[in-house]
Amino acid sequence: MSRLPQKTASVVIRPVQYRDLDAIDQLAQQSPEINLPHCSTVREKTVSLRNWYGVLKVLSLFPNPFQSLSCVHVAELNQKIQGMIRVSPFNRTGSTWRVDRVMVTPAIVESDQAEAQVLTKVDVGSLLIRFCLERIWQARTWVLEIDVNDKSALDLYRHNGFQPLANMTYWSISTEQLQTLAEREPDLPNLLPVSNADAQLLYQLDTMAMPPLVRQVFDRHIQDFKTSVFGSLVEWAKQILTRTEVVSGYVFEPQRKAAIGYFQLRLSRDGSQPHTAQLTVNPAYTWLYPELMAQMARIMQDLPAQELQIASPDYQPEREGYLDSIGAERIGHTLLMSRSVWHKVRETKSIAEGLQLAEMLQGLQPTRKPVPGRISMMKSTKITSPDQPEPKSETPKNVQELLKMAQDPHREDPCC
């Protein structure tokens, strides 16, 4: 990670306050967000900060699963808001977080000091990103999704160490195509509704449907596929406010006792917005794509006619091939990026610095002083005939001389 310039020392990064909402609205008008479908598992639809400020503030005051639902910080210089960043946890454990949006004033910021200093958009954006990378200690990996045509955002994230992970393509299926798909009877004898008891099956399906690198970055666990009571209440309130309905199901394989396909539909009950779908299929069962699409098209028949939006990553070419075959339209192309933050481990000190050899080898040191043992003299044995008596053992000559010297009272002490 490159070092930030010294001129950013005067910029203050702090949590958002209610008095900052007007400045954030003006900042959003200067840097409008690119409208993309929100049917991806990475890119979340951001709620209005002004409408949900009170709810988010109350949720952040006490421990709860939605305490970090939306973490917003602003960059302030000379009592003016020059940038804003919104981040949120990606998985239930909080090991992976995502950058929802970064907004920085497009104009060059000048500091009113004795020497004129200039801050660019990359300087302020980098300051906001690195503040979150360092302060959110539980995050080991960060992910984000940007439009491939947004060159300024791509330069900003590459400057801060984000690398491409996958390409996402968004598709739109028209109402006429959905009616054609609904005419076909789907062959899904083991289609079951989703509950918390199926979290293990859905977790295994999710890990099988993505490459190892993406699986490591997402770092999903079984609890990510479960819904708590509080989460159910929040989802119920969200569906009432947005006039949507969620329908999900999965295909069970009885021989392998595993889930081989899963879909989730977010339906618009009033027809004010397109329907969105999330689809996961085991790579060994690609024949499920037409069956699941026909099932989803039949579910949408009783609702107002509206198009269906779905996303496909580049590591699932079978899905893209099927969507091309039914005449789906490409409406967006994004780039999925990730960054690891294992740099939080201290690297300034050498590993061997400050380590004492005695501390490392405590287990090899004796616990008490050694006790001297006795020296036993082995008798020399000889092979004799049975008629001949066994000879008596003779003391060595040097031992006899030592005994005589010890018994002689007139011997001289060599030490005197």
The answer to whether the CB of 129 falls within 8 A of the CB of 119 is no
Q: Which residue has the higher pLDDT, 128 or 40?
A: 128
User: Cβ contacts of residue 53 below 8 Å, gap of 6+?
Assistant: 18, 21
Question: What pTM was computed for the model?
Answer: 0.75
Distances (CA, A) of 202 to 36, 208, 224, 351: 27, 10, 10, 42
pLDDT of residue 52: 67
pLDDT of residue 111: 52
The answer to whether the CB of 249 falls within 8 A of the CB of 189 is no
Domains detected in the chain: 6-163 (3.40.630.30), 175-306 (3.40.630)
Does 396 have pLDDT greater than 60? no
Give dist(CA 79, CA 112) in Å, integer: 12
The answer to whether the CB of 164 falls within 8 A of the CB of 323 is no
- Give the mean pLDDT of the chain: 80
Tokens for 27, please give them. Answer: 């900042």
Q: At what angle do helices 288-299 and 175-182 cross, to 10 degrees?
A: 110
Kindly state the percentage of the chain with pLDDT values over 90: 46
Would you place residue 352 in the very low, low, confident or very high pLDDT band (cuts 50, 70, 90)? Answer: very low
Would you place residue 21 in the very low, low, confident or very high pLDDT band (cuts 50, 70, 90)? Answer: confident
Q: Which residue has the higher pLDDT, 344 or 157?
A: 157
Q: Per residue in 294-325, pLDDT tens?
A: 999 999 998 888 999 999 999 999 999 999 99
Q: Per residue in 187-196, pLDDT tens?
A: 998 999 999 9
Helices (H) and strands (E) in the chain, counts: 12, 14
Mean pLDDT of 66-78: 80
Does 359 have pLDDT greater than 80? no
pLDDT of residue 379: 46
Give dist(CA 126, CA 50) in Å, integer: 25
pLDDT of residue 156: 93
The answer to whether the CB of 223 falls within 8 A of the CB of 231 is no
